[in-house]
Chains A and B, each alone.
Chain A
Amino acid sequence: MGRNLFQKVWDAHMVRQMESGQYQLFIALHLIHEVTSPQAFGMLRDKHLKVAYPGRTFATVDHIIPTDDQTRPLEDNMAEQMIQVLSAETKEHGIEYFAPESGSQGIVHVIGPELGLTQPGMTICCGDSHTSTHGAFGCISLGIGTSQVRDVLASQTIAMDKLKVRRILVEGSLQTGVTAKDVILHIIRTLGVNGGVGFAYEYAGQVIEKMSMEERMTVCNMSIEGGARCGYVNPDETTFEYLRDRERVPTGSDFERAVEKWKSFASDSDAVYDDEVVINASDIMPTVTWGVTPGQAISIEESVPNPESARGLEKDLISDALDYMKLDANQPIKGTRIDVAFIGSCTNGRLSDFQDVAELLKGRKVADHVRAIAVPGSEKVDTKARELDLHKVFEEAGFEWRKPGCSMCLAMNPDKLVGDEVCASSSNRNFIGRQGSPTGRTILMSPIMVAAAAVKGGVADVREVFGLQREESKG
C-alpha cells in the first residue's frame, strides 16, 4: 500500500511516540519573527536552556515594520523594542537574522521559499498560522504558538497528534480572470472554515499541477482558513525548477542528488487518503468575501445571502455578518463601494502578483476616492519589481508603492483602516477588526480583483473592467 507525502515526511521526522500517545516530531526548519518569538527566548532563559539547533532557525521582522518610513529607531517604541529583542536574542543564540535593509528581509512566508530555505520533504514550523504556505513545496508546515516556539528552540521538536489527509482534486481548467486566490476561496467556501479540522490538505489535480510555485503558495497559505492545520502540493518539475539556483539550495551534483531525494517524498500513485473531494474548475468564478470569515464568500456574480433562508446558528452568523459589513440581504456584491485597496501579504505579495496586476493596470487610474497601496512581500520582491519598473506602473495608476512588510493584512503597524472603511484586500482574513479599526470592513479577493475594484471604486468583475476574454466553461 502506497504512502502519501504527509505520511512519508512524518515518518522521516518522527522521533518517537510519547506516553500520552502524541508523537515527537523533529522540525527541519524553524522560522521566527518579532511578534510571537521574543517571549519564547524569555521562557528558555527561565529554564536555563540553550537553543539546540541554531542552524535550523532563521529570523526576520515583518508584522510590525512600517512600510513607509523604516528609519530606526522606529517611532513606535514598543515595535522598536520588539525588533531589538529579536536582534539581540538571535545574536546571542547564533541564529541567522534577516534584518531590514539586509536585502533579504521580508514576510517570513515569502523569504523562506525565495531564499531556498524551504525545501521539499521538510517539516517546517513558525509562530504564525500562515506557515501552511510552505506546503506548496511538499512540506508538513505548521503554525505554532509561542510555547511551541520555545519547544523547537530548546529541542528542535514538537509534540503532536498525527493528522488525517484529505486529497482535494481541482480538475479541469480555470477560466480567464480566475486565479489561485479564487481557487482557495472557493475551496474554503465549499468545505467550510472548520471543514479541515484534524486534516492536512493535499491539493492535486490538473489545475494545481499547472500552477506556478507562487500560485501554489497562495493556495496552501489559506489552508488554515479552512481549518486545516497544513496543506501541501506534491513536489514536481515546477518545484525543482523554482528551487534551482536559489541562494540556499545545494548546487551542481548536490542539487541533482537533492532532487532525487525530494522526488521520493511525493505521494505514491496508490497512496491512500482519509478523504477525497473533487472540485470542478469550471465552477470557480472570481470570488470575494461578503462577511467576516473567509468562508463567507460568493462569486462576483452572486448576491449576498439572506439570513431568512438559513436556520439556527447559521441564521445568526449571516445576519451578524451582514450587520457588521453594513450590507443588505440579497444585495449584489458587485458595486459595493470601497475606500481602500490593498495588494500584498503572505498570500499575494510575490513578484507574479504584482506582474499580473501591472499588466492590467497600465494606463488605468485608481478611482479618486480610493486610497490604494501595493506592498511587496520582501526586499527581493521589491528589488525585482523595481528592475522591471512595476512600481512605476502602480504609482502612475495612483497606488502608493511601499516597503516590504505585513502591512495592512493585520494592522500591527501604521497601515490601518480608519472607522468603518471598506477595504478590497488581497490578504487572507476578513475577521472583525482585522485591519486595525474595530469597525473596519474587509473584502478578500485576488490581486487582479483588487485592481479592478481600485479602478472602479467599488467591488467589480475583473473580466469586465479590464476587458478580459470570457471563455465558456469547459464542463
Chain B
Amino acid sequence: MSGNSIVKVSGRGVYVAGNDIDTDRIIPARYLKCITFDELGPALFYDMRFSEDGTSKSHVLDDPKHAGAEILISDNNFGCGSSREHAPQAIQKFGFKAIVAGSFAEIFHGNCTTLGIPCVVMTQEDRSGLTGLLASDPELDLTIDIERLQIICANNVFSITMKQSVREAFLDAAYDPLDTLMADQDAINATAAKLGYTYNPG
C-alpha cells in the first residue's frame, strides 16, 4: 500500500487570500534548484512573506497567532501555472496537511493528491464563514472529514466537495497510485505491443 488511508485531517487553519495564486508565488523559481525536495519548506510564499532584503512583510503565515497551522485556506484557481511538484512539496514541508480553496488548478491538484495532501473545494460563502471564525479566534481547530465531505469548526458544519475518484483514493489509501500502476504488468505490455511506435535510432 502507498500509505495510510486519510479520512480526517484536523488542525488550525490559516487564510492566504487571493484568486489565481500561482506556483511561482507558492515557491519562486529561484528556489527550485535542488536535487531533493527536503529543503523547500522555508521558501514557501517567499516573495509574499519577505522583501528583497529579507525583512519580513508581516505576512499572515508569519503571524505568531497562526504558527503551527496545518490547514491552508485560499480562494479560486489555487496552484495555477507550473506542473512543478516543488509547490505542493513546499506546502507539505512547511507543515500543511490539507488545502481548502474555491477551486484548484488541475496539475497542482493531482500533485497534491499523490503526496497525500487533500485539496477540498468550498463555496465562497462558506469560506467567508470559516475564515470569519478563524479571524475572531485563530486558535480554533477545524476538522476536514473526507468521508462525510464536511468541515467542522466550533460546532459549525460546512459542506465541501471533492472529485469522487480522489476521495476514494484517500479513503482507500491509494492516493499514491504507483503500486496500483505496477500491479498488472501484462496489461501494460499488451497496450505497448498494440501501439508499436518505432523511432529511428538517429
Contact = CB atoms under 8 A, between A and B. Distances in A.
A313 B194 CA distance: 50
A214 B83 CA distance: 23
Interface string B158-175: 000001111011001010
A127 B84 contact: yes
A53 B106 contact: no
B8 interface: no
Contact of B33 (A147, A412, A429): A412
Given A38-B35, A53-B192, A82-B33, A144 B83 contact: yes
Interface of B: 18-20, 22, 24-25, 28-30, 32-37, 47, 52, 75-77, 80-86, 88, 103, 105-107, 110-111, 114-115, 124, 163-166, 168-169, 172, 174, 176-178, 180-182, 184, 187-188, 191-192, 194-195, 197-200, 202
Contact of B191 (A13, A117, A292): A13
Given A26-B195, A145-B107, A127 B180 contact: no
Interface string A15-32: 110111110101011000
A249 interface: yes
B199 A248 contact: yes
Contact of A20 (B37, B80, B174): B174
Contacts of B77: 193-194, 197, 227
Given A18-B177, A21-B165, A411-B29, A39 B47 contact: no
A287 to B, nearest CB: 19
Nearest to A147: B114
Contacts of B194: 12
7 contacts: A15-B184, A16-B184, A21-B165, A21-B168, A39-B35, A147-B178, A434-B29
A156 interface: yes
Given A21-B168, A143-B83, A431-B24, A117 B35 contact: no
B32 A35 contact: yes
Contacts of B176: 147
Contacts of A434: 24, 29
Among A19, A42, A194, A320, chain B packs the most CB atoms within 10 A around the CB of A194
- Residue among A20, A42, A250, A436 with most chain B CB within 10 A: A20
Contacts of A16: 184, 187
B16 to A, nearest CB: 14
A175 interface: no
A36 B202 contact: no
B188 A35 contact: no
Given A117-B199, A431-B81, A434-B29, A26 B76 contact: no
Nearest to A21: B165
A20 B169 contact: yes
A18 B168 CA distance: 11
Interface of A: 12-16, 18-22, 24, 26, 28-29, 35-36, 38-39, 42, 47, 49, 52-53, 55-56, 64, 76, 78-79, 81-82, 85, 96, 115-117, 119, 122, 127-129, 131, 143-148, 150-151, 154-161, 193-194, 197-198, 224, 227, 229, 247-251, 254, 292-293, 313, 316-317, 320, 410-412, 429, 431-434, 436, 438-439
A19 B197 CA distance: 29
A91 B116 CA distance: 32
Contacts of B169: 20, 22
B119 to A, nearest CB: 13
B195 A28 contact: yes
Given A145-B88, A313-B76, 10 more contacts: A15-B187, A16-B184, A29-B197, A35-B32, A116-B200, A154-B178, A197-B77, A227-B105, A247-B202, A431-B25
Given A412-B30, A432-B25, A229 B200 contact: no
B24 A155 contact: no
A313 B19 contact: yes
B22 A293 contact: yes
Nearest to A23: B165
Contacts of B25: 431-433
A438 B50 CA distance: 10
Contacts of B19: 313, 317
Contacts of B191: 13-15, 26
Contacts of A13: 191, 195
A39 B188 CA distance: 24
Nearest to B33: A78
For the complex of A and B, the 7 pairs showing the least CB-CB separation, nearest first, are: A145-B111, A145-B85, A143-B83, A159-B177, A21-B165, A438-B47, A146-B85
A433 B178 contact: no
A159 B172 contact: no
Most buried by A among B25, B36, B172, B178: B178
B55 to A, nearest CB: 12
Contact of B80 (A26, A147, A160, A193): A193
A193 B77 CA distance: 8
Among A148, A154, A161, A249, the most chain B Cβ lie within 10 Å of the Cβ of: A148
A129 B168 contact: no
Contacts of A254: 198
A24 B47 CA distance: 38
A42 to B, nearest CB: 6
A438 B20 contact: no
B84 A35 contact: yes
A411 B30 contact: yes
Contact of A78 (B24, B34, B37): B34
A297 to B, nearest CB: 14
Contact of B168 (A20, A412, A429): A20
B83 A36 contact: yes
